């Protein structure tokens, strides 16, 4: 299967794909190997994961370059992603030693209760192309730390980052059958196999809500544990009392990181009427200065969209918004850096019912809507079936507490434009997903509670 560079269409490399029979065999081997892996002491598993972390950091530059070549993001962002990916391995190397159970005061004389945490078993995962390194480690590191085996299908657009991480894992001492990457150009086949395979105990998915729903249905047939990190429609609210310069800084990151191809990307900017014009003026000044170029070029800030289909979606959503009455403050067209590059764009006067405000834009297009009151901002922000990330800027401490409480989202960033970190639970509510990744909670997704009652202990 050829892997294409979205910046210029060049073939970066070709990778081997796996058939249904081969993946079935790999799952069975993983299941056979997981018992020995679970029997390794937590301290030893921790040391092996730590060795994997060290190797990722040692190969930071090569991994970043692979990431940029296959997914297009600027090299500076790819380096940050390597660090982010490595942080999950480091964190879970530490958590591996802390999968504590509990003892519960007994309900009767002569009986005792213990609760242990056991690995879920053999897990399967499907990951997207937009964070091709971090999405692999955010799932595999807690799974391995918990004593599970895991088989992962990366996006067909970005298998190289995943394979490079797998090679480093083997070098670190993780048994080959316990962590397997299986590239495929037949995602529906792999998804169905993972979800219906009797040996797979858990499926973890990051991707669109539509595919997440399909996998949930399929996984129901064998009652698997599921974790779903799905789409978002993040509001980015700027209140009239905000520090407008700080809000512009945050908006640049929340909107334009990875050319807007992020599940937590600011999809709807809601700006209070009294600071609207000032915010737009300062924001456009920054957006118009962004350097659009091949991610390998020095100083590149906006790379290409991942595919021609993704480019067309961004183009048509923007054209539709303009035809529905939005105004163009900047950009609004193809960029001459290459076929899949779109000029960073700012739209104002976006109405809440326009398609661009209802769907994930997944491109470098900021859509701005003005509002009058806090109640209106909250109503607009919560009026979506998604509930992943949300952002707001204010200097009023009472409003911080109120708005944080009222936003129906799994994650709320106040006066910040970036919230991903390995130490906090990442995930969404409503149709944005089930479960959390990162933090100690991310480890629980790969552990089962076992309640043990011991009787006959005498008085
Ligand atoms: P996608 O189409 O759902 O693809 C994600 C993964 O699912 C890819 O590996 C894809 O394989 C695979 N897939 C596609 N069709 C499938 C099927 N019928 N059965 C099983 N697997 C299938 O999503 P995308 O457009 O690539 O990624 C962007 C989406 O991911 C956005 O909605 C974004 O918000 C979401 N996302 C969420 C998070 C989060 O943490 N919540 C993080 C990042 C991205 P192929 O690529 O090989 O077709």
| Number of helices followed by number of strands (H, E) in the chain | 15, 20
Share of the chain above pLDDT 90, in %: 100
Atom of ligand 1 nearest to the CA of 426: 40
- Average pLDDT estimate for 225-230: 98
| Pocket of ligand 1 contains residue 128 by CB under 6 Å | yes
* The CATH number of the domain covering residues in 2-230+432-454: 3.40.605.10
User: Which H or E element spans position 2?
Assistant: strand 2-4
Position 333 confidence tier, pLDDT thresholds 50, 70, 90: very high
Tell me which residue has its CA closest to atom 39 in ligand 1.
Answer: 229
Q: Are 441 and 107 in contact (CB under 8 A)?
A: no
DSSP code per residue over 156-225: TT-HHHHHHHHHHHHHHT--TTTEEE---S-HHHHHHHHHH-TT--EEEEES-HHHHHHHHHHHGGGT-E
Q: What value does the mean pLDDT of the chain take?
A: 98
Q: Which residues contact 79 (CB under 8 A, 6 or more apart)?
A: 60, 61, 64
Among 20, 85, 152, 187, residue to substitute to test ligand 1 (most atoms within 8 Å of Cβ): 187
Atom of ligand 1 nearest to the CA of 207: 30
The pLDDT of residue 328 is 98
Tell me which residue has its CA closest to atom 11 in ligand 1.
Answer: 155
- Average pLDDT estimate for 413-431: 98
Tell me which residue has its CA closest to atom 30 in ligand 1.
Answer: 207
Position 459 confidence tier, pLDDT thresholds 50, 70, 90: confident
Atom of ligand 1 nearest to the CA of 190: 20
**Domain span(s) for CATH 3.40.309.10 in the chain:** 234-414
DSSP code per residue over 252-315: HHHHHGGGG--TTSEEEEEEEHHHHHHHHHHHHHHHTTPPB--TTSTT--B---SSHHHHHHHH
* The CATH number of the domain covering residues in 234-414: 3.40.309.10
- Average pLDDT estimate for 60-81: 98
Position 280 confidence tier, pLDDT thresholds 50, 70, 90: very high
Residue 263 a catalytic site member: yes
The pLDDT of residue 207 is 98
What is the distance in A from the centroid of ligand 1 to the CA of 190?
13
The pLDDT of residue 251 is 98
Tens of pLDDT, residue by residue over 114-154, are 999 999 999 999 999 999 999 999 999 999 999 999 999 99
Residue 75, token pair as written in the block: 């090299």
Q: Residue 381 and residue 100: Cα distance in Å, rounded? A: 39
**Domain span(s) for CATH 3.40.605.10 in the chain:** 2-230+432-454
The pLDDT of residue 387 is 98
What is the distance in A from the centroid of ligand 1 to the CA of 284?
31
The pLDDT of residue 206 is 98
Q: Are 108 and 457 in contact (CB under 8 A)?
A: no
Tens of pLDDT, residue by residue over 361-374, are 999 999 999 999 99
Tell me which residue has its CA closest to atom 4 in ligand 1.
Answer: 207
From edge to edge, which strands make up the β-sheet containing 112-119? 102-104, 112-119, 447-454
Tens of pLDDT, residue by residue over 381-391, are 999 999 999 99
Tens of pLDDT, residue by residue over 377-419, are 999 999 999 999 999 999 999 999 999 999 999 999 999 999 9
Residue 229 a catalytic site member: yes
What is the distance in A from the centroid of ligand 1 to the CA of 126?
8
Which of 166, 229, 422, 431 is catalytic? The answer is 229
| Pocket of ligand 1 contains residue 377 by CB under 6 Å | no
Tens of pLDDT, residue by residue over 173-217, are 999 999 999 999 999 999 999 999 999 999 999 999 999 999 999
What is the distance in A from the centroid of ligand 1 to the CA of 391?
24
Tens of pLDDT, residue by residue over 50-59, are 999 999 999 9
């Amino acid at each position: 299967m050829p892997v294409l560079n979205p910046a210029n269409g060049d073939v970066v490399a070709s990778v081997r794909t796996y058939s249904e029979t081969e993946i079935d065999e790999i799952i069975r081997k993983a299941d056979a190997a997981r018992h020995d892996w679970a029997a390794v002491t937590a301290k030893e598993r921790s040391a092996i994961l730590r060795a994997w972390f060290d190797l990722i950091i040692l190969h930071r530059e090569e991994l970043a370059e692979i990431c940029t070549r296959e997914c297009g993001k600027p090299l500076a962002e790819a380096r940050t992603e390597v660090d982010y990916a490595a942080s999950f391995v480091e964190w879970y190397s530490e958590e591996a030693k802390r999968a504590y159970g509990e003892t519960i005061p007994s309900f009767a004389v002569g009986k005792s209760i213990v609760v242990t945490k056991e690995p879920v078993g053999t897990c399967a995962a499907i990951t997207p192309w937009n964070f091709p390194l971090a999405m692999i480690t955010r799932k595999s590191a807690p799974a391995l730390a918990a004593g599970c085996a895991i088989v992962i299908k990366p996006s067909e657009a970005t298998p190289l980052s995943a394979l490079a991480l797998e090679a480093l894992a083997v070098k670190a001492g993780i048994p080959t059958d316990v962590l397997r990457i299986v590239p495929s150009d037949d995602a529906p086949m792999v998804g169905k196999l993972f979800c219906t395979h009797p040996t797979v105990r858990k499926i973890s998915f990051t991707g669109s809500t539509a595919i997440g729903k399909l996998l949930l249905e399929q996984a129901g047939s064998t009652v698997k544990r599921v974790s779903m990190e799905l789409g978002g429609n993040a509001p980015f609210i700027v209140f009239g009392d905000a520090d407008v310069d700080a809000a512009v800084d945050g908006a640049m990151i929340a909107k334009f990181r990875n050319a807007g191809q992020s599940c937590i990307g600011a999809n709807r900017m809601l700006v209070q009427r009294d600071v609207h014009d000032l915010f737009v003026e300062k924001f456009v000044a920054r957006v118009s200065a962004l350097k659009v170029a091949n991610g390998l070029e020095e100083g590149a800030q906006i790379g290409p969209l991942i595919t021609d289909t993704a480019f067309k979606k961004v183009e048509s959503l923007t054209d539709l918004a303009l035809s529905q009455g939005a105004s163009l403050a900047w950009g609004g067209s193809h960029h001459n850096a290459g076929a899949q590059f779109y000029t960073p764009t700012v739209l104002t006067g976006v109405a809440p019912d326009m398609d661009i405000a209802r769907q994930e834009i997944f491109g470098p297009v900021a859509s701005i809507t003005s509002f009058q009151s806090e109640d209106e901002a909250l109503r607009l922000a919560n009026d979506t079936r998604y509930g992943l990330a949300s952002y707001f800027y204010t200097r009023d401490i009472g409003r911080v507490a109120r708005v944080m409480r009222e936003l129906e989202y799994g994650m709320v960033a106040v006066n910040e434009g970036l919230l991903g970190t390995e130490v906090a639970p990442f995930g969404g509510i409503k149709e944005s997903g089930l479960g959390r990744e990162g933090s100690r909670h991310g480890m629980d997704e790969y552990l089962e509670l076992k309640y043990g009652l011991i009787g006959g202990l005498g008085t």
